[in-house]
Structure 1
């Protein structure tokens, strides 16, 4: 496993304080975010998953607690759209330059509008994928929001 990823380099370049946490990634896990939370010994609401979606056909990134699901209606509304749908895994990989299970909102190949679930900002520190399967970065959620210029909105179902 690489010591640096595009995600960790983007965080360093932005001057964000973070720590790196590695774990044994299980490719057969039914829910990757929950498996990550369990593997690092953290509560699921502090381990955030990065999802790629489309709102009115345009790509967006959404960050939510690993134990929650995104409301497509709320996601569309967050970006001023009428409809939202999850991006197909192959499209998400092409767009971000990361493999599914290792998609980070930081250092994506192409920057897209991003939303972060408002409840996530209630925690002092959260974990977000660090750009590789089995790699999480721990940081202040407001630092993540600021670095990504993310909208803070209620998007969970």
Structure 2
């Protein structure tokens, strides 16, 4: 089960006990914000893309949308989201619980600049009813990310 992979991953920093398992679904930004009682933009959504036959995860603020021109400038290709049926197989978590913790080997993870405006954010934890509140520096520490990128729009207009 993916939440157990996340729990094991976060145990390296002794923070697995901070995972919140919710009564309600947190599968979308809106549902997660409602269940957690926070602003939707503070949900750190993880978006799955196919780049050069490999999986790429972009972690962005809940109110950010992928900017196709920025994405192409960074990755050299058009933004193509993974098909729903490929997400769990390629990322290691199913749609609704995708997060940057405990992902499959070879998944390239990037953090989007849209997150930097918050003190804390709420990424999912491998299931459609889980989340953890982390600071930006904790997100950096717990995530094997490659780099910060600017591939989103709609959040700083």
1:25 correspondence with 2:20: no
2:77 matched to which residue of 1? 82
1:7 correspondence with 2:2: no
TM-score by length of 2: 0.82
2:93 matched to which residue of 1? 98
Cα contact 2:71–2:77 (8 A) shared by 1: no
Structure 1 segments unaligned to the other structure (5+ residues): none
In structure 2, distance between residues paired with 1:75 and 1:145: 21
TM-superposed CA distance for 1:128, in Å, is 0.3
1:114 matched to which residue of 2? 109
Runs of 4+ in 1 over 4 A off after TM superposition: none
3-state SS of 1:122 partner: coil
3-state SS of 2:69 partner: helix
The count of corresponding residues between Structure 1 and Structure 2 is 149
In structure 1, distance between residues paired with 2:118 and 2:128: 24
TM-superposed CA distance for 1:77, in Å, is 2.5
3-state SS of 2:8 partner: helix
Taking only aligned residues, the RMSD between alpha carbons, in angstroms, comes to 2.2
Shift in alpha-carbon separation, 1:37–1:73, aligned structure 2, 3 A = same
3-state SS of 2:152 partner: coil
TM-superposed CA distance for 1:21, in Å, is 2.1
Cα contact 2:91–2:107 (8 A) shared by 1: no
Which residue of 128, 137, 142 corresponds with 1:142?
Answer: 137
TM-superposed CA distance for 1:109, in Å, is 2.2
In structure 1, distance between residues paired with 2:72 and 2:144: 19
Structure 2 segments unaligned to the other structure (5+ residues): none
Shift in alpha-carbon separation, 1:111–1:124, aligned structure 2, 3 A = farther
Give deviations 1:100-151, integer Å, cap 9, x for gaps.
Answer: 1111211012241111111212222111011111000111222222432342
Moved more, 70-79 or 49-58: 70-79
1:39 correspondence with 2:38: no
TM-score by length of 1: 0.82
